[in-house]
């Protein structure tokens, strides 16, 4: 499983109802029967996980957050274990939209540890707000990685996915700019170097993926020239046709 290319849909807080979620999910499922070499993951809102789980085994489900405690007095929170128990196998952690609400690297680190403990594979999001001419953004991502991965063992590291998501390219960012595969490539190389310095050869199996307004038009270019093992589309994953097209592009490149 580890080395398969992977396409992960981040539905964020969409769609509005379970009915719409089932319709979107069903439309994707209907069109992916020929997919063999690409791992497909969808991360819907918590509430839809259990129902969607019953529709298909071909799509692996992920959550968009997990609380770093097991059980107890944590009003409003959902634990990694609860998510695992209803069928989630991945969890997006450290997304910039959560970080914007106050999530720190230290909190992400605790969530990663709790997720591993529960059997969930973390999809750790990193990425800079803006690019500066003096290349300080490399250091920003380095600190994110070091702090979020503090205390993670060499044995666990290959199960993690690192999603490089430059905030300036994400579709919800006002005045966003397009990233190009060269932006993804230089950061993927940099991330790999940091991981191999910290974790040695085990880091070679970590999948690094790209996200930030990726769509059916540029998916091929990012997969071929962006130095990544997969993609994390947000907006494009809410359109069954576009999402399926991205999956098929990934599959075709792996023939």
Active site residues: 95, 165
Using rule CB under 6 A, residue 10 touches ligand PGA = yes
Using rule CB under 6 A, residue 171 touches ligand PGA = yes
| Complex with ligand PGA: residue 94 or 227, whichever CB lies closer | 94
Using rule CB under 6 A, residue 14 touches ligand PGA = no
In this chain, which stretch among 34-42, 50-58, 80-88, 209-217 interacts with ligand PGA, using CB under 6 A?
A: 209-217
Selected from 83, 191, 234, 250, the binder of ligand PGA by CB under 6 A is 234
The closest of 186, 118, 121, 126 to 157, measured between CA atoms, is 121
The closest of 40, 141, 41 to 92, measured between CA atoms, is 41
* Buried residues in 51-72 as b, exposed as e (16+ CB within 10 A): ebbeebeebbbbbbbbbbeeee
Using rule CB under 6 A, residue 44 touches ligand PGA = no
User: Closest distance between ligand PGA and the C-beta of residue 234, in Å?
Assistant: 2
Distance CA 251, CA 255 (A): 7
| Complex with ligand PGA: residue 162 or 199, whichever CB lies closer | 162
Using rule CB under 6 A, residue 56 touches ligand PGA = no
Selected from 9, 68, 212, 226, the binder of ligand PGA by CB under 6 A is 212
In this chain, which stretch among 21-29, 49-57, 163-171, 200-208 interacts with ligand PGA, using CB under 6 A?
A: 163-171
Q: Is residue 83 within 8 Å of 89, Cβ to Cβ?
A: no
- Determine the longest span between alpha carbons in the chain, in angstroms: 50
User: Closest distance between ligand PGA and the C-beta of residue 211, in Å?
Assistant: 4
Using rule CB under 6 A, residue 214 touches ligand PGA = yes
| Complex with ligand PGA: residue 81 or 97, whichever CB lies closer | 97
DSSP secondary structure, 159-208, as one string: T-EEEE--GGGSTTSTT-----HHHHHHHHHHHHHHHHHHHGGGGGG-EE
The closest of 61, 145, 65, 140 to 101, measured between CA atoms, is 65
Using rule CB under 6 A, residue 170 touches ligand PGA = yes
C-alpha distance from residue 241 to each of 76, 79, 116, 130 (Å): 35, 33, 33, 31
User: Closest distance between ligand PGA and the C-beta of residue 171, in Å?
Assistant: 3
Using rule CB under 6 A, residue 203 touches ligand PGA = no
Using rule CB under 6 A, residue 181 touches ligand PGA = no
């Amino acid at each position: 499983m580890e080395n398969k290319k992977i396409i992960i849909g981040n539905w964020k807080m969409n769609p509005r109802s379970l009915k719409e979620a089932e319709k979107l999910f069903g439309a994707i499922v209907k069109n992916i029967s020929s997919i063999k070499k690409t791992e497909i993951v969808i991360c819907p809102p918590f509430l839809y996980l259990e129902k969607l789980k019953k529709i298909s085994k071909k799509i692996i489900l992920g959550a968009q957050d997990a609380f770093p405690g097991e059980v107890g007095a944590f009003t409003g929170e959902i634990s990694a274990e609860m998510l695992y128990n209803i069928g989630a196998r991945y969890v997006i952690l450290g997304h910039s939209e959560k970080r914007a609400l106050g999530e720190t690297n230290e909190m992400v680190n605790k969530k990663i540890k709790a997720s591993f403990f529960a059997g969930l594979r973390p999809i750790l999001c990193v990425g800079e707000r803006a690019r500066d001419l003096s290349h300080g953004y490399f250091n920003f991502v380095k600190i994110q990685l070091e702090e979020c991965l503090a205390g993670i063992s060499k044995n666990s590291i290959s199960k993690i996915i690192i999603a490089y998501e430059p905030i300036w390219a994400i579709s919800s960012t006002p005045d966003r700019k397009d990233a190009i595969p060269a932006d993804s490539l230089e950061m993927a190389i940099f991330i790999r170097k940091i991981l191999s310095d910290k974790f040695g050869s085990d880091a070679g199996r970590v999948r690094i993926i790209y996200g930030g307004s990726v769509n059916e038009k540029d998916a091929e270019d990012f997969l071929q020239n962006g130095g990544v093992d997969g993609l994390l589309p947000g907006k494009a994953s809410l359109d069954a046709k576009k999402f399926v097209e991205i999956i098929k592009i990934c599959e075709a490149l792996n023939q």
